[in-house]
Every structure is written in C-alpha cells, then in structure tokens.
Amino acid sequence: MKSFSIVAPVMALLLAFASCQCHEKAAYVSYTDTIEVNGVELFYAAEGVGKPVILLHGNGGSHNDMETTMRQLAQAGYMVYALDSRGQGSNTPLPEYHYIDMAEDVYCFIQEKGLEHPAVFGFSDGGIIAIQLEVMYPGTWSAITTGGANIFVEDALIPEFAATFLTQENPNPLTRMLMEEPNMTIEEVATIACPALIMAGEHDLIREEHTHLIANTIPQGEALIIPQADHGSYIYHNNLVGLHILDFFKRIGY
C-alpha cells in the first residue's frame, strides 16, 4: 500500500491563501474625481487607506482648505475624502444654497461610495453640515469633529461680526444662507448619539458660549477652545486641528 502525507498539500493551500490575502489588502491611494449626487455634481479628493473620514470646508472654500489635515489623517492610517460642497470649489455655482441640501449631498455621497459609519471633520459651514446630517440621518457618523460651527444664527456670532454681517443688503447666495441658516433646535441636536468634539478658536467668529452649548447639548459632546486662534488660523495650512482630531479618534477608539 502506498503511503502519503497531507501536510505538504495543506501547507501549499495555506500559503496560497495567505498570498491572496496580501494581494487583496487595500492599497494607499491618492486621486481626485467627481460624483453626481442629489442632482448636483461634486468634486472631491481622496487619499489614504483605512477607516473612512470625510472633510468638509467652510463657506466659499474648497477641499484645498483641508489639504494639511487630509494629509495628516491619511498618513495616520485613515481613508480621507475631502469634498467641494455644492456650488463651491470646482463645482458649478448655484443661485441659492441651503444647509439641508448640502447635508443631503454628503449623505448621498456616503451611500454612493459605500462608506460604513465614517467620521467627519467640518470647518465652519462644514461643521454645520456635519451636525445637520446626523440630525437628519441618525447613526450615520461614527464621530463628529467640528471647528467654528453654529446650530442657529441668533446669538451664535460675536456681536462685532453680527452687527455688520447680518445687516448686509443684497448679499450673494452663500452669504444669504449664512444670514438665515442654520435653524436646528436644541432638541434636535440632543438626539445625536455619537461622540463629538466641538472646537473653536479663542478669538472665533462663533461665541464661545455657543460652542459650549453645542458640546453640552450632544450627550457625548466635548468642547475645545484653541488658545490664541481665530476662526480658521488653526485649520488653514496648520497641523494643529489634525493633531486634536487624531487625539480624539484615539480616545474614542476610532
């Protein structure tokens, strides 16, 4: 009778399986593209590999404002998507804007890309969009981080800025949106269940009391006031906000 061993064939199969697993492992990517969602086309940049993070810029800005933060998060092991909001950046301008529409755009982007519970960092308008989206679609985000965001207009802006900004005549569409929106309620924001880091500069356009109000309203919220910073100085081409985001992700296990 012939004798045979199954060890060698089994080892060969295991090695082949391990080789396949290595080849299937996601690779670090860096690219730009456009996607059609919610009736508009959005330009976006993508970089990294790992858990998904979405970056949302401020009013009239673009994904380029998030360049430093994007690179930090990507190199730290996250798959980062930086979007141009509707009508801004490389997108075609629109005659009017609403935060609810922008939140819907981002939600559709998440669905189209098949992202499972991404985290988000939103600056100014981007922070408003991040909060508004979670109010509209609870459970979408794993974590929310914002800089210089507000949830309503009245008493949210520092008096010096509000006195000139809110009394403009014939404002452009993006400015008009800032003057009239957002219009979230405390009750709505209190339904947000994911961890949230609500940041603002010490000399921000958003009142410090309003930043604390948002953080205290979200059950797992916390406020962080950045010393000596204004509305965007700790964000534009500055790695400080990225360090705070990464520290927060580490603390919550994301």
Question: Taking the domains of the chain in order of start, what are their residue ranges?
Answer: 31-252
pLDDT at site 81: 98
pLDDT at site 14: 41
Distant-in-sequence, close-in-space partners of 208: CB < 8 Å, separation ≥ 6? 200, 202, 225
Which of these, 183, 177, 252, lies nearest to 221 by C-alpha position? 252
pLDDT at site 167: 83
pLDDT at site 24: 60
pLDDT at site 168: 87
Domain covering 31-252 in this structure, CATH number = 3.40.50.1820
pLDDT at site 2: 39
Which of these, 66, 9, 44, 55, lies nearest to 238 by C-alpha position? 66
* Gap between the Cα atoms of 69 and 82, Å rounded: 10
What is the value of pTM for the model shown? 0.90
* Gap between the Cα atoms of 74 and 51, Å rounded: 10
Per-block average pLDDT, block size 10, for the chain (254 residues)?
Answer: 42 42 74 98 98 98 98 98 98 98 98 98 98 98 98 95 86 95 98 98 98 98 98 97 98 98
